[in-house]
Amino acid sequence: MAEQKPRVIAIGEVMAELARGNDGRFGMTCGGDTFNTAVYLARAGVDVAYATALGDDPYSDGMIALAAAEGVKTDLMLRVPGRLPGLYIIETDAKGERRFRYWRGEAPARELFELPDWNRVAESMLGAKLIYFSGVTLSLYTNIGLGRLLAVIEMARQQGAKVAFDGNFRPHGWKGDLPRTRTVFMEALKRVDYALPTFDDEAVLWGDPSPEATVERLQAFGIGEIVVKNGPNSALVAVSGQREHVPVPEVVQAVDTTAAGDSFNAGYLAARLAGDSPASAALAGHSLAAQKVRHRGAIMPRDAGAVH
């Protein structure tokens, strides 16, 4: 049997997404920060699996079917009988800025590392080329779940896996407990190779006055590659002692900024996995994010970026 080529594993939560259309009606799809990135990585040709836990309901079936249709491997999407996935509603204002409301407290994704077969996820992570997760991922788990996740990441790194992390700080997910958030983030940051934070989030959580301050704080954890996203401004790329501002090539009128950072991360990581330089990978991230914000919802249509 041929050895399976090392793959990327993204970890987190996928939820039902209700987004209001121009006619005022809601349409249903699904999304979640690391899931969005996994879909965009798969579209870029990356071998990627998604690790989460779902119910045994039709909505969970639909999420798994969507992942499979997008080329995201579903073998680490565990099922929990009698449970339902989380739900969120997006309201978007005239500028494309969005507001989220969540119903997710009972979602099985929160128990991924405490389910009876969590070791299936752990074993797969040990053979991964790259493990990708976010601050939202960390907000899901109890201290037991976090301990297991971080221990497995530590072992995977010893076996050659790289780790990519997007801080993606959402205060409601942490119930406003900043001291616990910072403690958990610091434990995670000790195990990261690629940091992909958004400056606005870092400013709120850590009080960073500038993207440069974010870079310096993250470098203190020994992180070798840092890309600070800063909305329509330049991304600050810091690798091997060098820093470079990579401007957004074209600032577009946003229809919906949902998943702008998630799509940037996918563009960046796909380019780096293909051997591109960090600066050109940041341009690839900008390009994908610019396509995404022209469309409503977390996951734009497959042909949205196609040249006609």
Q: What's the one-letter identity of residue 11?
A: I
What is the tens place of the pLDDT at every residue in 125-181? 999 999 999 999 999 999 999 999 999 999 999 999 999 999 999 999 999 999 999
Q: Given CA atoms 177, 171, 269, 242 in this order, what sign does their dihedral have?
A: negative
Q: Is 93 in the active site?
A: no
The Cα 286–Cα 268 span in angstroms is 8
Give per-residue burial for 150-163: e unless 16+ CB within 10 Å, then b: bebbeebbeeebbb
CATH superfamily placement of domain 8-12+33-79+111-292: Ribokinase (3.40.1190.20)
List the one residue out of 87, 71, 196, 78 whose CA is nearest residue 133. 196
**Among 138-152, 205-219, 239-253, 291-305, whose mean pLDDT is lowest?**
291-305
What is the tens place of the pLDDT at every residue in 232-282? 899 999 998 899 999 998 888 888 888 899 999 999 999 999 999 999 999
The Cα 264–Cα 37 span in angstroms is 8
Give the global pTM. 0.94
**What pLDDT score was predicted for residue 72?**
98
Kindly name the residue from 33, 166, 201, 262 that is annotated as catalytic.
Answer: 262
Which string of DSSP letters, residue by residue, matches 107-150? -GGGGGGGSTTHHHHHHHHHT-SEEEEEHHHHHHS-HHHHHHHH
Rg (CA), the chain: 18
User: Using the 8-state DSSP alphabet, how is residue 229 labeled?
Assistant: B
* pLDDT, averaged across the chain: 93
The Cα 268–Cα 248 span in angstroms is 13
- Region 180-195: mean pLDDT is 98
